[in-house]
Chains A and B, each alone.
Chain A
Amino acid sequence: MADERSRWRDDFPVRWDDDNYMTRRELAKFLTLGSGLLAGVNGLIAVIGLTGRMPAAPVRRIAAVDDIAPGGSMLFRYPTDEDPCILVRDSSGRFDAFSQVCTHLSCAIVHRPDDHALACPCHRGAFSSSDGRPLAGPPTRRLPRIVVEERDGEIVATGVEV
């Protein structure tokens, strides 16, 4: 046992005299300094969120009105090519569009016309296809709505409502 201990000490020589100890007082000061930094970061985030201007959403044609039958849907990208969205036409002919990214864990949602829902297959989440509010499953936040208008027989996207 004594030999094992000495081998261990040879392999991992630790000189306790060289160790840097931290007093309770130092640790408390360090934690309070960290607390101040975190408060500053939180304030900075609030300032950025309240004063930062988001770029204006472009006006973009999505499809012709006749391209989608009542109860149908189509995928498009808006406001950038990195933002997948879904355009839904209900049985009355009204158009609604939403982000296709589930607000739970960012899976792609699909249209379920029979349930009037947009469903997320990953964790069985569901959103209303008329206003994007969560109906079932883990999502708690509504889907961002894409503002769409009919102009001369065309469906155009004009903005995003988060």
Chain B
Amino acid sequence: MESRQQGLTLFSAVLVLIALLVVIQLWLVAAAVDALLSRQTTVLVPTAIASAGLFVLSGGLLSYVVSFDARLRRWSRRG
């Protein structure tokens, strides 16, 4: 498989992974709203921390895949 094709596959995989993380965050928001309305405040901080962690993970994946893509482009130009 060519490097360009590998890059596309990696990008698609990371895209799906980020989408999954966003879906988990949506579920966390729904759980937090439910807890807030039923006044169960003990759930709120863990959901906020988990959501922030997922955001950091999403950002990390994005920056990784963007830098990988940039490296690939540089390498292609040289080759």
Contact = CB atoms under 8 A, between A and B. Distances in A.
A141 B18 contact: no
A45 B54 contact: no
A103 to B, nearest CB: 8
Contacts of B44: 45-46, 49-50
Given A45-B32, A162-B40, A39 B25 contact: yes
A150 to B, nearest CB: 27
Interface residues of A, number: 24
A38 interface: yes
A79 to B, nearest CB: 13
Interface string A1-40: 0000000000000000000000011011101101110110
A25 B69 CA distance: 10
A42 B25 contact: yes
Contacts of A31: 15, 18-19, 22, 58
Given A42-B32, A46-B45, A35 B25 contact: yes
Contacts of A39: 25, 48, 51-52, 54-55
Contacts, number: 91
Nearest to B32: A45
A122 interface: no
B39 interface: yes
B37 to A, nearest CB: 10
A32 B62 CA distance: 7
A41 B29 contact: yes
Interface string B1-31: 0000000100110110011011001101100
Nearest to A141: B38
B48 A45 contact: yes
A139 to B, nearest CB: 12
A28 B65 contact: yes
B15 A27 contact: yes
Interface of A: 24-25, 27-29, 31-32, 34-36, 38-39, 41-43, 45-46, 48-50, 54, 103, 141, 162
7 contacts: A28-B14, A31-B22, A32-B18, A35-B18, A42-B25, A49-B36, A162-B38
